[in-house]
A = this chain, B = another copy of it.
Amino acid sequence: MVDDTLLSMLLEAENEFISGEEISRRLSISRTAVWKKINKLRSLGYEFEAISHKGYRIIVSPDFLDPLTLTNAIHTTVMGSKVEVIKTTFSTQEDARRRAEQGAAEGTLIIAEEQTGGKGRLGRKWFSPYGKGIWMSLILRPQQPLKFASQLTLLTGVAVCRAIRQVTGLEVGIKWPNDILIQKRKICGILLESAIEDNVMRYCIAGIGISVNVDDNDYPDELKTIATSLKIESGSTVNRTLLIAAVMEEFETLYQIYQQKGFRPIINLWEALSLNLNEEVIVHSHQGIQEGIAVGLDSSGALLVDMGMGEIKPVISGDVKLK
């Protein structure tokens, strides 16, 4: 593992140099020992600028997810304030659920480099190859009536969409309820699972899967035409640590707005990012298949679809296809 004390010191300094002398003094170790520790970090993929009389600063962090690097990068109070990184797991949703049952606090974030049984909505699988994406689950403990569960789904979509736009500049948008697309291809899936006791929400796990640096030839054939990645679309590797931090920060901001001012401001932000609004949609639900034009969200988070003849129908669950 990484030597936390030295790395933490260097990460906290951000772009400032720290001299070998200062490191030696603060860690109570010899200059030779400092040098050895710096080399240890180099072997893990960190790169440093080293200037005589000024000292060291980190210029490249390796492309693996490290709890300490993440914690330093995430500037929030609650969301992502505790981060756990797992190399390979079946499903971060399941891991987060276990932590939540054990009493983990709101904002606890579980991230994996790889999921072998990644879950999507409606029992679908989620492709989660090693080191290529952000496969993570955030524990929430919202104090709100049950009927607002779907509002949190939409809020999460807005937070992730805004974070991706901010970090990559890509014009990603939201397909109701919670897919994030670019050029009609999926770049991110969101799954909110809640545990209810009687009629009280005990906790909610927001699962977020972002295909960050997945390459075209990583995808199995059946996904090639419907999925893409931030790297494929932008042409360059995207720093996952920065993107995770941006998602946590956006989420925390929106969650505070939501708790203080209700769902209306979230609807406005959602509609601004929506790919469905004023577009023809095909609604697949357990009531069958119907066509109409999406006209907005209602206060519960249902998609309002104009079915023609002035009939506006709220779609509560199901799938929506862009025509």
Other-chain residue from B145, B146, B317 in contact with A198 (beta carbon distance below 8 A): B317
Bound CA span A197–B319, Å: 13
CB distance from A145 to the nearest CB of B (A): 7
Whether the pair A316, B193 counts as a contact (CB closer than 8 A) is: no
Decide yes or no whether A192 CB sits under 8 A from chain B: yes
CB distance from A263 to the nearest CB of B (A): 13
For this chain, the copies found in one complex come to 2
Whether the pair B316, A199 counts as a contact (CB closer than 8 A) is: yes
Bound CA span A147–B196, Å: 11
Whether the pair A178, B198 counts as a contact (CB closer than 8 A) is: yes
Whether the pair B150, A147 counts as a contact (CB closer than 8 A) is: no
CB distance from A193 to the nearest CB of B (A): 6
CB distance from A197 to the nearest CB of B (A): 6
Whether the pair B153, A198 counts as a contact (CB closer than 8 A) is: yes
CB distance from A147 to the nearest CB of B (A): 5
Bound CA span A228–B317, Å: 45
Bound CA span A197–B198, Å: 16
Decide yes or no whether A149 CB sits under 8 A from chain B: yes
Whether the pair A150, B198 counts as a contact (CB closer than 8 A) is: yes
B residues near A173, Cβ cutoff 8 Å: none
CB distance from A97 to the nearest CB of B (A): 9
B residues near A196, Cβ cutoff 8 Å: 149, 192-196
Bound CA span A138–B177, Å: 31
Whether the pair A195, B193 counts as a contact (CB closer than 8 A) is: yes
B residues near A194, Cβ cutoff 8 Å: 195-196
Bound CA span A316–B201, Å: 12
Smallest CB-CB separation from A153: which chain B residue? B198
CB distance from A59 to the nearest CB of B (A): 42
CB distance from A135 to the nearest CB of B (A): 18
Whether the pair B200, A317 counts as a contact (CB closer than 8 A) is: yes
Decide yes or no whether A1 CB sits under 8 A from chain B: no
- Residue of A149, A178, A195, A316 contacting most chain B CB atoms (<10 Å): A149
